[in-house]
Amino acid sequence: MRRVIVIGAGAAGSMAAIFAASEGADTLLIEGTRDGGRKILISGGGRCNVLPLRVDESRFVTDSSPNLLKKIVRAWPLAEQRAFFEDTLGIPLEEETESVKLFPASHKARDVRDGLLDYARKVGVRLRMESRVVDIAPVNGAWEVTVDDGTVLKAEAVIVATGGLSVPNTGSDGAGLNMLKALGHTMHPTYAALTPLTTTDAAFNGLSGISLTVSLTAKSALQQATWRGGFLFTHHGYSGPSVLNVSHVAVRARAGHAPSAKVHVQWTALGEREWEEALKPHGARTVTGALRAEMPDRLASALLAKAKVEPTRPLTELRRDERLRLIDILVRGDLPWHGDEGYKKAEVMGGGVALSEIDPRTMESRRHKGLFLCGEVLDAFGPIGGYNFLWAWATGRSAGVSAAAMAV
């Protein structure tokens, strides 16, 4: 029996190791931290959103071919992934139909992390924790993996599942990306994705703690993203699903990948016509009363100030130019942003190894035989809601099965 070495015991790496061992390979899983799977533990507010309830492949973001991405995702259908967790790992999943997410029924992310690593041990995976890989090199048709204590390990196949740059305190330091780049892989520019945005706008900074459902559109010269969902004012700016899911457009523009990016917000479910109706004269009702019927009081006051409309103004006295200016802010208002929280708060990294440089059926590098890639090192990410775990599980499984076929 020949060896497969998996580098990184996160979501993708754990899955890759499980399938490599299950297919009969002598499998060693190397992890830099003492326990592994730390992003799993903090995901979903400690509950771990294992999978989406449904998959819309168009929601993934990549600078590579969308067709390649679809082939990779479809290699392990959602229903089969769910069955693996429930039937093989014995982790019951619970549907949240409103958010279209699947969580462990226990609502404990630790059950997912421990379930993966326990099952890996059960099928014969050997774990080497607190060992950081510092180099991988092809030697005489095989691979040499050097760890930080100077030990050189040999294997017929190596799976790189080191993650990207997001949430560095979980162990993601970009080392795997550097090793892959040194091996000649093409890297699409990396950037923080699914990260909060910041602002210096005094009016909005005073709204910390307010949450509501909005529609956001971020647009630059290169790309556009629109999302309707939760929005939260923070002490430094904005967060919530709607913000995180469009933030990559703003982040890339700020990094110089596009000249600029604008973020526009529709503050309520009401469109232009509905607001025209709501702002028609109605008894003694004031403009503040009309807005407060649809949104939190403090936000209503802030938007009226931006529109330069006196809050106590009766609707009967609201001038046409004031009405039009206010409606414009309500349905397509400019959301002032001046920065982002970066990798520290990012749920995932955008960019990475070009998908054209891997075989979508096997996850094997097209540049080096016996080298497999999975998870966040690859140029793809999805919205919050389990998409990035789905990507990790699917790519990890394909890499594990294929690496084992080469090694056994």
User: pLDDT tens digits for 276-297?
Assistant: 999 999 888 999 999 999 999 9
Q: Is the pLDDT of residue 258 over 70?
A: no
Quick one: pLDDT band at residue 363, thresholds 50, 70, 90?
very high
Strand pairing category for 333-334 and 261-266? antiparallel
Average pLDDT over residues 252-269: 86
Q: Which residues pair with 138 in a beta bridge?
A: 143
CATH code 3.50.50.60 region(s) in the chain: 3-191+350-407
Average pLDDT over residues 78-91: 98
| Residue 141, amino acid | G
pTM of the model: 0.95
In angstroms, rounded to a whole number, what is the distance separating the alpha carbons of residues 399 and 9?
14
**CB under 8 Å to 64, separation ≥6 — which residues?**
188, 354, 355, 356, 379, 380
Structural contact between residues 56 and 32, judged by C-beta atoms closer than 8 angstroms: no
Report residue 114 as tokens.
């421990």
Q: Helix, strand or coil for residue 202?
A: helix
Angle at which helices 387-407 and 11-22 cross, to 10°: 30
Q: Is the pLDDT of residue 151 over 70?
A: yes
For residues 161-191, b (16+ Cβ closer than 10 Å) or e, as one string?
Answer: bbbbbbbeebbbebbbbebbeeeebebbebb
Q: HSE, CB side, 13 Å, CA atoms: give it for residue 343.
A: 18
The percent of the chain in helix, strand and coil, each rounded to the nearest 5, is: 40, 25, 35
Write down the pLDDT at residue 257: 56
Nearest to 133 by CA among 171, 187, 170, 185: 171
- CATH architecture designation of domain 3-191+350-407: 3-Layer(bba) Sandwich (3.50)
